[in-house]
Amino acid sequence: MTDAMRFTREVMTAWATGGMLHVAEQIAGDLAGQVVDEPFEMLWRHLGGSVQVEVKQRNTSHGDQKAPSVHVDEWGITFSGDSRVHWARLTLPGAHHSSGAVEWQRQSGRGPHWLGFLADASDLLAGTLDPDMVPAIIAQVVVPRLSSWCAVYTADAASSPLRLVYLWHADEARIDGLREQLSDLDVGAVGTRMSSTFHLGDNEVLAVPLSARGRGLGVMCLGRPDRFPDEAIQLAEDIGRRAALAADNARVYAQQAAANRALQRSLLPPNEPEVPGLDYGVVYEPAGEVNEVGGDFYDVFKAGDDSWRFAIGDVCGTGPEAAAVTGLARHTLRLLAREGYGVAAVLGRLNQAILEEGERARFLTLLHGDITPADDGLEVRLVSAGHPEALRLKPSGVVESITTPQSLLGVFPEVVFEVDVVHLDPGDVLLAVTDGVTERRSGGRLLDDEGGLAKMLAECAGLSAKAVAERIRRGAADFATEPSADDLAILVLRAR
């Protein structure tokens, strides 16, 4: 719903129809509210004298669709393939006096209206970091204010030919015919270096190159049935410069985001092994909208013929430096475990490796242990290096701490770790979390104040490992109303 309202505000701003923004938002909210629990697409169309909003979704069973709560000229439901489109149409103020493009040209010149239009266009273009969205925004900005239609061409690479990536016409029914006309057009020959005009059928076409930082990114072609005035050409060139810069920024961001995602995915465990006699569940939620991996991490892996290892840790800090320590820790744990090093020895070696990073080092809290299946449950040997205490839940509902607090990693060079040995009877649950759970804050209170986590775990007796992990996750989320600013990891081991 929030995205639908924001999208509506952006479109109304680009079309300079701010006077009807409140009504447009109400209509968009009404239509989106009727399908808020289902995936849907929203589209605003400028039809010259009117605007139309459409909410499209797969044709799932719903109750009768309702009219918007404010007055509209028309509304209805249409079907296309397996999709249903719920739409509503509004007449623009003053539409019966003159067309949008003519009125715009009459008012624009080099006055405040022109400057406001460019400012709105700049804000709209700067508001997206999605390269695929920029051509669509360009077309929505210029049609119908500057032209009857807009075609945007870009290249996949510097040496690739230009291809049509977005086409829009004020009269939607004419898009297919226009696409046919443009199919034989060699855009690379008419508009890659400087603006030029030519004729295509009954239209004059203005080709504006899209260049940023000395690099050609594509061409914007605008068409209209009459001649382009000098003011319209200047406006189009200004918009072209802004659009090219937005497209280049979005391209750079997309490349960096893709590299970041690839790095983050490389830090996640490659698989989740089957462990005899063990039921386990994991919840992992990095903070931030674009992160797949944060400073928290977890792992479960096979270390020998009859032994498996687990780990859950929290690196101090965020960003590439924290990610580097995360990668170092996870790979060191796996390598040394397979070389036969015990749990305590592994942590000692990892502590030295972190200290050797020098200025790049980050403190690390870590709970690391091994699991050995036994006839009457599981034998677990573990070390808690500065990590929140691990808890054991008995089937009776009794909860107890099972780890001895020891030094976190990356602080003291001469630290010796001691192993805690724990036996898990069938039905026993071991819970390990990062401080994204224990330090979840609501006002001046933390979730784990007065044994809050242990009380939450006591309510999970009889649940599967995944159900326990989900119950703790939900409890942490519900503890405070605001979104968490910290990474969160939960690891649950349950003896079968």
Alpha-carbon distance of 189 to 193, in angstroms, equals 9
The residues with which 372 forms a beta bridge, in sequence order, are 379
Single-letter residue type at 426:
P
All domains of the chain in start order, with CATH:
1-97 (no CATH), 99-266 (3.30.450.40), 270-495 (3.60.40.10)
Cβ–Cβ under 8 Å, residues 208 and 191: yes
Write down the pLDDT at residue 33.
Answer: 84
Alpha-carbon distance of 187 to 174, in angstroms, equals 20
How many angstroms from the chain centroid is the CA of residue 27? 27
Alpha-carbon distance of 77 to 446, in angstroms, equals 50
Per-residue pLDDT of the chain (496 residues; tens, 9 = 90+): 677 887 888 787 767 666 688 888 889 888 888 876 777 888 888 776 788 898 888 765 555 678 888 888 888 887 766 778 888 988 877 554 334 444 444 444 444 455 656 666 677 777 777 888 889 888 888 888 889 999 999 987 766 788 999 999 989 899 999 999 998 888 877 656 788 999 998 899 999 999 888 788 899 999 999 999 888 888 889 899 888 988 888 888 888 777 777 766 666 777 778 999 999 999 988 776 555 566 788 999 999 888 999 999 999 876 667 777 888 888 999 999 999 999 999 999 999 999 988 877 789 999 999 999 998 999 999 999 999 999 999 999 999 999 999 999 999 998 999 999 999 999 999 999 999 999 999 999 999 999 999 999 999 999 999 999 999 999 999 999 888 888 899 999 999 9
Cβ–Cβ under 8 Å, residues 243 and 166: no
Single-letter residue type at 15:
W
Alpha helices in 392-464, H assignment, sequence order: 435-438, 452-458
Residue 317, phi-psi category: left (phi > 0), alpha (psi -120 to 50), beta (remainder): left
Task: Enter the tokens of residue 400.
Answer: 């107890």
Question: How many alpha carbons lie under 13 Å from residue 60 in its C-beta half-sphere?
Answer: 11
Alpha-carbon distance of 403 to 367, in angstroms, equals 9
The residues with which 279 forms a beta bridge, in sequence order, are 494
Write down the pLDDT at residue 341.
Answer: 95
Hey, what's the torsion of the CAs at 477, 483, 487, 488, to 10 degrees? 0
Write down the pLDDT at residue 359.
Answer: 75
For the question of whether the overall pTM of this predicted structure is more than 0.75, the answer is no
Cβ–Cβ under 8 Å, residues 370 and 343: yes
Three-state SS across 87-142? EEEEECCCCCCCCHHHHHHHHCCCCHHHHHHHHHHHHHHHCCCCCCCHHHHHHHHH
Write down the pLDDT at residue 101.
Answer: 47
Q: Is the peptide bond before 144 cis (omega within 30 degrees of 0)?
A: yes
Write down the pLDDT at residue 63.
Answer: 57
Write down the pLDDT at residue 96.
Answer: 45
Alpha-carbon distance of 74 to 87, in angstroms, equals 8
Which residues are CB-contacts of 275 (< 8 A; sequence separation ≥ 6)?
300, 308, 371, 373
Alpha-carbon distance of 382 to 389, in angstroms, equals 11
The total number of residues written for the chain in this structure: 496
Taken in order 236, 237, 239, 240, the sign of the CA dihedral is positive
Alpha-carbon distance of 164 to 221, in angstroms, equals 10
Task: Read off φ and ψ for residue 93, nearest 5 degrees.
Answer: -60, 135
Between β-strands 377-385 and 405-406, what pairing exists: parallel, antiparallel or unpaired?
Answer: parallel
Taken in order 141, 146, 149, 150, the sign of the CA dihedral is negative
Question: How many alpha carbons lie under 13 Å from residue 153 in its C-beta half-sphere?
Answer: 25
Alpha helices in 15-74, H assignment, sequence order: 21-33
Task: Read off φ and ψ for residue 106, nearest 5 degrees.
Answer: -65, -35
User: Tokens 């990062």 correspond to what residue?
Assistant: 434
Alpha-carbon distance of 297 to 469, in angstroms, equals 15
Q: Which of these, 445, 471, 446, lies nearest to 457 by C-alpha position?
A: 471
Write down the pLDDT at residue 105.
Answer: 47
Task: Enter the tokens of residue 203.
Answer: 């239209």
Alpha-carbon distance of 451 to 399, in angstroms, equals 10
Alpha-carbon distance of 275 to 364, in angstroms, equals 27
Write down the pLDDT at residue 42.
Answer: 87
Per-position b or e across 408-426, b if 16+ CB within 10 A of its CB:
bbbeeeeeebebbebebee
Write down the pLDDT at residue 192.
Answer: 63
Alpha-carbon distance of 492 to 496, in angstroms, equals 13
State the CB neighbour count (10 A cutoff) for residue 60.
Answer: 12
Q: What is the DSSP letter of 227?
A: P
